[in-house]
Chain A
Amino acid sequence: MLLHDTSLIFGRYVRQTLRSRFQILFGILMPLLYLLFFGPLLTGLPLGSTGDSWQVLVPGLLLQLSLFGASFAGFSIIIEKSTGVVERMRVTPVSRLALLLGRVLRDTLLFTFQAVLLVLAALVMGLRAPLPGVLIGFAFVGLLTVSLASLSYALAMKVRTPQEFGPVVNSLTMPSMLLSGLMLPMTLGPVWLDVLSHFTPFRYLVDAVRDAYTGRYATAHMLYGVLVALAFALLAVTAGTRVFRRAGA
């Protein structure tokens, strides 16, 4: 049942994405712009970590792409609340978890497509990284997208207008990005900043993906990365499903 329901909801939203030329175009453009405008700034900088600058930069860009894309996933459901689509679905016997997962998996598919594009373009521009490491990186950022999109839908179900949603998301994503070391390794900064960044899940993910990109798979970073990514996903999906079960407004 869960599988049936999830694939039904997933199919509906994949078709929604495919209908939107703008969403597809923007989806392709985003990762390329990131790389084109940001990459040249950092190549050749001594980043004080293992691997060349591409191996540090690309994991950060992937996480950033996920952070900003998935955090705003909930936007679409605010519109669907006003057209009554959400309640129409909630009144059917469809699984509440599927209502969330179907949407989140669509977002994850779109994101994975962007992530692959970004890595391919980075390869052209000079990235060299082992294939298993790159694949592990996709798994991490895919899981992060599941988590962030779930939380985004949960928030969007709670707010009444897009005007309430945007500022809240921005005020959460901006500090997360700055603290996570997505741009530059946190070890370059003062100790207090480095310590503070360990209070965000992103820090652990970015460290793990950077290890993967330099071919080091059995490290403490990797272990913490896996644990944090899984715990975060479990927490986020549980919170999201709860909101679909009992949506009040």
Chain B
Amino acid sequence: MPIISASGLARTFTARTGPVHAVRSVDLTVMPGEIVGLLGPNGAGKTTTLRMLTTLLAPTGGAATVAGCDLAADPAGVRGKCGYVAQSGGVDPQVTVREELVTQGRLYRLSKADAIARTAELAGQLGLGGLLDRRTAALSGGQRRRLDIAMGLTHRPAVLFLDEPTTGLDPGSREDLWALVRGLRDDFGTTVVLTTHYLDEADALADRLVVVDGGRVVAEGAPAALKTEHTGSPDASLHDTFLAITGRAPAAADTAPLAV
């Protein structure tokens, strides 16, 4: 039984300049315990896809089930079972780490005592132990990101969605984060869907890649299989594979503003 299945998921925005087809048609099947990477250049529709799958944005076409709940019929069910970490995170710079984590637990309907206990547990698990009484503004990039992820894990979700989890992090912090995501799957069986435009990240972390371009899925498979299929060699770089799939080079490290 797939834990996520989406078919024909689409979203068109109405902008002043006319309609924007952010996601044209995405089919996606994810099995429990998989780490799936949505790979694609900026503007491919990765964030929009995640926002639909997490109930933040109503699709203008298609349907999906997440963790056994239908996106359209039972959005509250989906919210209770998935965690979402946006690219921009989601903590108030003026609030302390502890207050954010406890409030988040309570928003997920934990009792006060449970929310406090869960905060301590997450702080230990994500290396935030000594930082609980700091304002989130005073955290380093890597610490901030770990807090963002802790916020998404408060309710022990079956599925965790991560949008560009390592954008802007230094190499050391990126590898720490990769280890953390693998640990979530290995220790808790969490299904992880993450977006990235970093090829090394997709290569190192994902069991399976879904390559998105122009709002559509253009290729799909395990990294090695994709390489063989599109370049004829399992040793090809993902960069060459990407070039073969989309006909252009993936975006370089970007300085694009965060999605609002």
Contacts and interface: CB of A to CB of B under 8 A. Distances in A.
A81 interface: yes
Interface residues of A, number: 27
Chain B at the A interface: SS class: loop
Contact of A83 (B55, B79, B91): B91
Contacts, number: 73
Contacts of A16: 92, 94-95
B106 A8 contact: yes
Contact of A248 (B13, B54, B91): B13
A88 interface: yes
Interface residues of B, number: 33
Chain A at the B interface: SS class: helix
Q: Which of B54, B86, B92, B151 has the most CB of A within 10 A?
A: B92
Interface string A77-105: 00011111101111111100000000000
Interface in B73-99: 76, 79-80, 82-84, 86-95, 99
A21 interface: no
Contacts of B51: 87
Interface in A1-44: 1, 4-5, 8, 12, 15-16, 19
Given A81-B260, A92-B79, A92-B107, A248 B90 contact: no
A19 B55 contact: no
A91 B99 CA distance: 18
A91 B103 contact: no
Given A81-B260, A89-B107, A249-B260, 10 more contacts: A5-B107, A12-B103, A80-B92, A83-B93, A87-B86, A88-B151, A91-B55, A93-B76, A93-B79, A248-B57
Interface of A: 1, 4-5, 8, 12, 15-16, 19, 80-85, 87-94, 160, 246-249
- 4 closest A-B pairs by beta carbon, nearest first, are A88-B90, A84-B90, A84-B88, A92-B107
Interface of B: 13, 51, 54-58, 76, 79-80, 82-84, 86-95, 99, 103-104, 106-109, 151, 258, 260
10 contacts: A12-B103, A82-B258, A83-B90, A84-B89, A84-B258, A85-B90, A85-B92, A87-B86, A93-B76, A160-B260
